[in-house]
């Protein structure tokens, strides 16, 4: 028998809410994704969520309103999942919902993910687990990334050293030893976020489809050097970052410093792709020789970025997690379904060597719908 959990994720790309139904066997078998649905985040809400990563007027009310709208969209994603999959063999135990990160400052002791857990529990008539990161930060950790524990659960392979690379708005990497151990996990820096924001500004579309626009440009060496000089890239793990650190104002400063302010937008896009690829490849090079790199997240759809990563990582294989049997778009949402199961079972999340916390912790706040009692 298996228990069923729902996972909900809206990541740093702020493009969609992904929903997964995950079956977790009662025995030692691996979790299995049995349904997936995705709803786009409406442009006005996406704009508001991105704006909330920076200080501005009336933040409290704007954040509360955005959290309410996002929660309603999360509930719609659950409904879409049910409509797509039909009745399940067993009832859903709980929903694990990440929320939308708008501020992440573990060095100052806090992280903020917008979501109304009580409202989502009412809308779904299911227990909801959210606010996963705060407990890790309270224990002295970075609060991110959390998905490496799930990566170990589903991708560890005896005799093979694997890296699992998630390319969302921010990219993160998980390093798995040939013995199945979780050796490290950390944010490498920008994945899609600078590419998406620059594309939106200059082409009026939310992303560079397949990386074709970046391919039409040429890398600007002075701008590349200015970007790679950011201290984050040299910082040792454990470390984490967010779109509040890598944004268009950050880019504007480096355009000015490198004398590239008047550069062709396509050349800037090509350079930003190189920044993402180079910082990811440098992070992967920190480990002992790998057998393969498995890629998930929205970056899988950027053929130009994947091609550049293959060049930089050769002769190590770089392939989508689809080749390992798991939909690359579903993995992060599935991870939060799995994290919800850990919270329901009061099991600490094993993130040794990842976040820097003072040991494993039970993560997540539990909200119950009316009339439901639980731990």
In tens, the pLDDT along 283-292 reads 998 777 899 9
Least confident of 27-31, 106-110, 165-169: 27-31
Please tell me the predicted confidence (pLDDT) of residue 56: 87
Tell me the mean pLDDT in the region 62-75. Answer: 98
Q: What rounded mean pLDDT belongs to the chain?
A: 94
Task: Determine phi and psi for 141, rounding to 5 degrees.
Answer: -95, 180
Written as six digits, the tokens of 49 are: 């969520």
C-alpha dihedral, 78 to 206 to 64 to 250, nearest 10°: 140
Quick one: CATH architecture of 156-324? 2-Layer Sandwich (3.30)
Strand order in the sheet with 317-320: 182-190, 170-176, 162-167, 292-296, 317-320
Written as six digits, the tokens of 234 are: 């040299």
DSSP 157: B
Helix (H, G, I), strand (E, B) or coil at 318: strand
Tell me the mean pLDDT in the region 220-247. Answer: 96
More confident residue, 49 or 324: 49
Residues 6+ apart with CB under 8 A from 258: 220, 222, 223, 225, 226
Helical spans, DSSP H, in 320-363: 331-344
Confidence of residue 29 (pLDDT cuts 50, 70, 90): confident
Cα 337-165-49 angle, rounded to 5 deg: 60
In the chain, CATH 3.30.420.40 covers 2-146+330-367, 156-324
What pTM value is reported for the model?
Answer: 0.93
Confidence of residue 89 (pLDDT cuts 50, 70, 90): low
Confidence of residue 374 (pLDDT cuts 50, 70, 90): very low
Please tell me the predicted confidence (pLDDT) of residue 140: 96
Tell me the mean pLDDT in the region 337-359. Answer: 95
In the CATH hierarchy, which fold is given to the domain comprising 2-146+330-367?
Answer: Nucleotidyltransferase; domain 5 (3.30.420)
Q: Give percent of the chain with pLDDT exceeding 90.
A: 88
Q: Looking at the predicted structure, is the pLDDT value of residue 85 above 90?
A: no
For residue 83, count other CB atoms closer than 10 A to its CB. 10
Tell me the mean pLDDT in the region 194-198. Answer: 97
Please tell me the predicted confidence (pLDDT) of residue 1: 78
User: Do 20 and 35 meet the contact criterion of CB atoms below 8 Å apart?
Assistant: yes
Closest residue by Cα to residue 182 from 194, 164, 195, 200: 164
Tell me the mean pLDDT in the region 71-97. Answer: 89
Tell me the mean pLDDT in the region 298-326. Answer: 95
Cα 342-17-244 angle, rounded to 5 deg: 90
User: Do 319 and 295 meet the contact criterion of CB atoms below 8 Å apart?
Assistant: yes
C-alpha dihedral, 111 to 334 to 50 to 194, nearest 10°: 100
Helix (H, G, I), strand (E, B) or coil at 372: coil
| Cα 268 → chain centroid | 24
Confidence of residue 352 (pLDDT cuts 50, 70, 90): confident
Residues 6+ apart with CB under 8 A from 193: 12, 13, 169, 170, 243, 246, 247
More confident residue, 55 or 45: 45
Closest residue by Cα to residue 63 from 109, 116, 17: 116
Q: Looking at the predicted structure, is the pLDDT value of residue 234 above 70?
A: yes
Please report how many Cα atoms fall inside a 13 Å half-sphere around the Cα of residue 159, on the Cβ side.
0
Q: Looking at the predicted structure, is the pLDDT value of residue 372 above 70?
A: no
């Amino acid at each position: 028998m298996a228990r069923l959990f729902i996972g909900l994720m809206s990541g740093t790309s702020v493009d969609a809410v992904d929903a997964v139904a995950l079956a977790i066997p009662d025995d030692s078998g691996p979790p299995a994704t049995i349904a997936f649905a995705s709803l786009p985040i409406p442009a006005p809400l996406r704009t508001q969520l991105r704006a909330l990563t920076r200080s501005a007027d009336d933040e409290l009310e704007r954040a509360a309103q955005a959290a309410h709208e996002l929660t309603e969209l999360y509930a719609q994603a659950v409904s879409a999942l049910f409509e797509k999959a039909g009745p399940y063999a067993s009832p859903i135990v709980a929903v694990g919902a990440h929320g939308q990160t708008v501020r992440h400052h573990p060095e100052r002791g806090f992280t903020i993910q917008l979501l109304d857990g009580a409202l989502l529990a009412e809308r779904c008539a299911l227990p909801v687990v959210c606010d996963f990161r705060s407990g890790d930060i309270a224990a002295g950790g970075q609060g991110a990334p959390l998905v490496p524990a799930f990566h170990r659960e589903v991708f560890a392979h005896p005799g093979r050293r694997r890296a699992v690379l998630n390319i969302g708005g921010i990219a993160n990497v998980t390093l798995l030893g040939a013995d199945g151990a979780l050796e490290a996990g950390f944010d490498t820096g920008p994945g899609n976020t600078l590419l998406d924001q620059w594309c939106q500004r200059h082409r009026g579309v939310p992303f560079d489809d397949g990386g074709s626009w970046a391919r039409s440009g040429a890398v600007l060496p002075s701008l590349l050097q200015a970007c790679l000089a950011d201290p984050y890239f040299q910082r040792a793990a454990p470390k984490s970052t967010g779109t509040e650190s890598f944004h268009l104002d950050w880019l504007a400063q480096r355009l000015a410093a490198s004398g590239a302010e008047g550069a062709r937008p396509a050349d800037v896009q090509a350079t930003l792709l190189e920044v993402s690829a180079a910082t990811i490849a440098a992070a992967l090079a920190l480990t002992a020789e790998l057998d393969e790199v498995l890629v998930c997240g929205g970056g899988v759809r950027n053929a130009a970025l994947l091609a550049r990563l293959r060049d930089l990582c050769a002769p190590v294989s770089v392939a989508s997690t689809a080749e390992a049997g798991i939909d690359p778009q579903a993995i992060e949402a599935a991870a939060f379904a799995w994290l919800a199961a850990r919270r329901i079972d009061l099991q600490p999340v094993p993130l040794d060597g990842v976040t820097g916390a003072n040991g494993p912790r039970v993560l997540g706040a539990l909200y119950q719908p009316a009339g439901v009692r639980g731990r």
